[in-house]
């Protein structure tokens, strides 16, 4: 059945939900789906900003088991929060202490075939030609389905085996697909939005019911879907607003277990890191914003800049990074050779967090911080050619313990924002001996129609007027972990972006509040859509409630329940 109106969708879900059997905790425990203690890898977030301490842990390994877990949470009135790899600094994925931490690492798998696709999309499955230009990467498309619990590393390996590739990605492959899509992970390219924009269809669980969610006229053929034995009992929903709301919802609209993703043919990248001056870098960034012929994206698929806001040099150094699509290199680069790669890699091998080492160093000699950053920025020169995923990976920089904030700024205001940031950084350093302890990065991302994407289709200027966004500049602030006055520094640069329509990336240190979200998004419309997926509010945590303006619930004791013997417990799904 394909429902296209909110009323029809709510009614169809209600009918299916009413047929769900009571789910037994004892049964889920006996089958190893409910755990009392979580695995070691999930006991602290990547940014060390929170340590999950839920009442229960759940680790489903299939769509059927996931449906049972969600039904169990609803029947017991327990909050439940999906968790990927916890590659976050905000509490978007933090479970409530009275609820369930939902691990998604068992929801894996990869499929080329999609028998329920519309006929026009069921193209040949032969291996495509390797892309040799930006145009090739952008023009040729293939649809694949991947499990939400796969890491980006595993997803890339499966794609490469088939001669395929992601269009864009971030600098770390340890994120899980569901976490990356649902929080707006992105690369740096004017040609692509965040990774969630490559999603064409989601398989989710809403209220214990399995749902395939797509835009109107989505890729699934409703007739074939209804006839599919594999999808018996599912609900096909083809609705633009629900689709755009669910793609990036920070874990508030049920839980996805697989995605249909648009991918590109396999390609290789040649990354060139080249030291330039701040004045040259800013001219190049202006050229990008103004779409001036000859800007860096005329030759590169991806580009970004690393700079030191508090540099005391007369000609502050900047590293320009360009990644250009090239034919398969005759000789692949094996390892990176920059000074940061060697230093961070060595400390990591010794079992030492490089971030903590540099934090101690900077506390001992705070006046030297800008000079040390200039030294590293000036020695990042490198050429590295390999498969796309190897090049996008940041390497040993991922070993550094950090505090990370990312600010999205409408690109037309980037120049003015950087002026303010340079003045702010120098005032903080010269007047108070406070400095950012890592270079900042400037990246570019195309606006996204995903409802809560930080890189939205519009923004509000200082006068409160809504304006269309043509391009977003993503300004990344990284502090070595434990930096003194770290929160104060990050908040200062966040506040400096407000007059320009800037906002925090919700997956990083996020200083936005409900008032800012209410001014930026049509929250009543989003909340109406969200309640179709989660009318019981079990997928909300305190962080979600604060930003969305939903009152905090009083903690509940887990209710007593009668348990039937396992032999009398029917399966949630055939």
User: Is 391's pLDDT higher than 50?
Assistant: yes
Tell how far CA 30 is from the center of its chain. Answer: 34
Average pLDDT score, the chain: 93
| pLDDT score, position 258 | 97
What residue ranges do the domains of the chain occupy? 2-106+523-550, 110-265, 268-512
Burial of 110 (0-12, 13-18, 19+ CB in 10 A): middle
Fold of 110-265: 3.30.465
| pLDDT score, position 369 | 96
Q: What order of strands is seen across the sheet that includes strand 80-83? A: 34-35, 56-58, 100-103, 80-83
Nearest CA to 409 among 347, 488, 467? 467
Give the residue ranges of DSSP H helices in 466-510.
Answer: 486-497
Report how far residue 262's alpha carbon sits from residue 268's, in angstroms, rounded to the nearest whole number. Answer: 18
* 110-265 and 268-512 in the same fold: no
Q: Which CATH architecture has domain 2-106+523-550?
A: 2-Layer Sandwich (3.30)
- Asked if 457 and 468 count as a contact pair (C-beta separation under 8 A), the reply is yes
Q: Mean per-residue pLDDT for 312-336?
A: 95
Q: What is the pLDDT of residues 264-291, one digit of tens each?
A: 999 999 999 999 999 999 999 999 999 9
Given pLDDT bands bounded at 50, 70 and 90, which one contains residue 5? confident
In 3-state terms the chain splits into helix, strand, coil percentages (rounded to 5) of: 35, 20, 45
CA angle 185, 195, 291 (to 5 degrees): 95
Fold of 268-512: Alpha-Beta Plaits (3.30.70)
Report how far residue 178's alpha carbon sits from residue 247's, in angstroms, rounded to the nearest whole number. Answer: 9
Q: Mean per-residue pLDDT for 122-137?
A: 87
- The secondary structure of 144-197, three-state, reads EEEECCCEHHHHHHHHHHCCEECCCCCCCCCCEHHHHHHHCCCCCECCCCCHHH
Which tops the pLDDT comparison, 1 or 128? Answer: 128
| pLDDT score, position 395 | 87
pTM for the whole structure: 0.93
Task: Say which DSSP state 135 is in.
Answer: H
Report how far residue 396's alpha carbon sits from residue 345's, in angstroms, rounded to the nearest whole number. Answer: 5
Which helix (DSSP H) or strand (DSSP E) does residue 103 occupy?
A: strand 100-103
- Asked if 50 and 91 count as a contact pair (C-beta separation under 8 A), the reply is yes
Which helix (DSSP H) or strand (DSSP E) does residue 468 occupy?
A: strand 466-468
Provide, rounded to the nearest whole percent, the portion of the chain with pLDDT above 90.
88
Q: What is the pLDDT of residues 27-66, one digit of tens each?
A: 999 999 999 899 999 999 988 999 999 999 999 999 999 9
């Amino acid at each position: 059945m394909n429902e296209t109106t909110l009323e029809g969708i709510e009614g169809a879900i209600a009918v299916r939900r009413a047929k769900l059997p009571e789910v037994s905790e004892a049964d889920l425990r006996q089958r190893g789906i409910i755990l009392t203690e979580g695995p070691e890898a999930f006991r602290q977030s990547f940014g060390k900003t929170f340590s999950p301490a839920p009442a229960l842990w759940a680790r489903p390994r299939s769509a059927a088991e996931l449906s049972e877990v969600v039904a169990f949470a609803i029947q017991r009135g327990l909050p439940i929060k999906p968790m990927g790899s916890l590659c976050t600094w905000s509490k978007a994925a933090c479970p409530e202490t009275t609820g369930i931490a939902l691990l998604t690492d068992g929801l894996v798998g990869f499929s080329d075939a999609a028998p329920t696709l519309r006929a026009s999309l069921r193209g040949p499955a032969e291996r495509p030609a390797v892309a040799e230009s930006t145009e090739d990467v952008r023009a040729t498309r293939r649809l694949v389905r991947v499990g939400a619990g796969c890491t980006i590393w595993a997803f890339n390996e499966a794609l490469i085996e088939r001669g395929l590739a992601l269009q864009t990605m971030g600098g770390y492959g340890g994120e899980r697909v569901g976490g990356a899509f649902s929080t707006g992970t992105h690369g740096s390219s004017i040609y692509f939005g965040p990774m969630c924009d490559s999603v064409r269809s989601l398989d989710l669980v809403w209220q214990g019911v399995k749902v395939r969610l797509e835009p109107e006229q989505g890729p699934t053929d409703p007739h074939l879907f209804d006839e599919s034995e594999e999808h018996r009992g599912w609900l096909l929903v083809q609705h633009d607003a629900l689709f755009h709301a669910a793609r990036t919802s920070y874990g508030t609209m049920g839980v996805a277990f697989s995605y249909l993703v648009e991918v590109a043919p396999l390609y290789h990248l040649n990354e060139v890191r080249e030291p330039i001056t701040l004045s040259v870098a800013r001219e190049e960034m202006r050229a990008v914003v103004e779409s001036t012929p000859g800007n860096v994206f005329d030759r590169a698929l991806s580009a970004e800049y690393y700079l030191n806001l508090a540099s005391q040099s007369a000609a502050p150094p900047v590293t320009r990074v360009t990644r250009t699509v090239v034919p398969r290199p005759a000789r692949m680069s094996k390892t990176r050779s920059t000074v940061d790669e060697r230093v961070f890699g060595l400390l990591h091998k010794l079992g030492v967090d490089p971030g903590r080492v540099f934090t101690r160093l900077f506390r001992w000699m705070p006046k030297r911080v800008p000079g040390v950053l200039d030294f590293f920025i000036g020695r990042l020169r490198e050429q590295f050619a390999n498969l796309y995923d190897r090049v996008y990976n940041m390497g040993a920089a991922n070993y550094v313990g950090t505090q990370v904030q990312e600010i999205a700024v409408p690109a037309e205001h980037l120049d003015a924002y950087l002026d303010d940031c340079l003045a702010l950084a120098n005032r903080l350093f010269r007047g108070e001996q406070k400095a950012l302890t890592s270079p900042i990065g400037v990246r570019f991302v195309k606006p996204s129609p995903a409802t809560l994407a930080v890189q939205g289709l519009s923004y509000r200027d200082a006068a409160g007027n809504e304006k269309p966004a043509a391009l977003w500049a993503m300004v990344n602030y990284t502090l070595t972990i434990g930096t003194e006055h770290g929160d104060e520094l990050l908040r200062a640069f966040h506040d400096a972006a407000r007059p320009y329509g800037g906002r925090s990336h919700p997956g990083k240190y996020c200083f936005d509040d409900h008032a800012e979200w209410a001014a930026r998004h049509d929250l009543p419309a989003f909340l109406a859509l969200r309640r179709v997926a989660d009318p019981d509010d079990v997928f909300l945590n305190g962080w979600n409630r604060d930003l969305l303006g939903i009152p905090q619930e009083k903690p509940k004791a887990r209710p007593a329940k009668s348990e039937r013997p396992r032999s009398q417990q029917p399966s949630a799904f055939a």
